[in-house]
Amino acid sequence: MKTPDLILASTSIYRQALLEKLALPFRCMAPLIDETPRPEESAEQLVQRLALEKAKAVAANNPASWIIGSDQVCTINGLVVGKPGTEPAAIAQLQAASGQRITFYTGLCLYDATQDRYQLLAEPFHVHFRALSSEQIKRYVKAEMPLDCAGSFKSEGLGITLFSQLEGRDPNSLIGLPVIALVDMLAAWGMELPQ
C-alpha cells in the first residue's frame, strides 16, 4: 500500500526519535489540547483520551492524513505523576519511587482522518526501582536533568542505573511511544512493515 501522509501529533524529541525507527516519512505537529485529568479518570482512561484528542486536534487541519497521538503518565502507588518541571519535584518523585514497582501507561491512537476511524490502546510498562539513597537521587537529577520526563528519569540514558528490573512488552513505550503496538495498528490497516 502507498504510505499515507503520516503525522505525529507531538513535538516530543523522544517520540520523534522512536518513530524514526520505522523508516517511514512523517511530519510533526503540536496538538493544542487541554491535558487536565478529569475527576475519577483512571491513568489508562486519561492517556487513551488524551492520545485520541491529540490525534483529532491535528486531524482537524489535515483531513487526508493518518495521525499518531500518544500520551504518557507514570503512577506511583496508584497515584498519577506527571513531568516534574523542577529539580525539587524530580527529587521528590524519585524518592517516592525508590524501592517501588511503578507503572507507566502510554496511550496510543492511530487516527485515519480520511475515514474518521481510529485504533486506541493504553500500553502498560512496569519499572522496579532499586532502593536509592538521597545522594544517588540528587546526583542522578543533576547529571541528567530529567525535568521533562514523566517519572523523572531517562531510561535510555543514565536512568537505567536506578532500576533493578524492567517489565513489559515494549521498552519503547517507557520512552513515550509503543512502537510494537503502532506496527500492529498499521498492519491492521494494510501497511506491513518494513516497507
Determine which one of 34, 71, 112, 116 is catalytic: 71
Query: CB atoms < 10 A from the CB of 26, how many?
Result: 17
CA dist 141 and 31 (Å) reads 29
CA dist 28 and 23 (Å) reads 15
Cβ pair 140, 162 in contact under 8 A: yes
β partners of residue 104: 74, 125
Q: Does residue 148 carry a catalytic annotation?
A: no
Q: Which among 18, 13, 194, 24 has a CA at the least distance from the CA of 108?
A: 18
Q: Which residues are catalytic?
A: 71
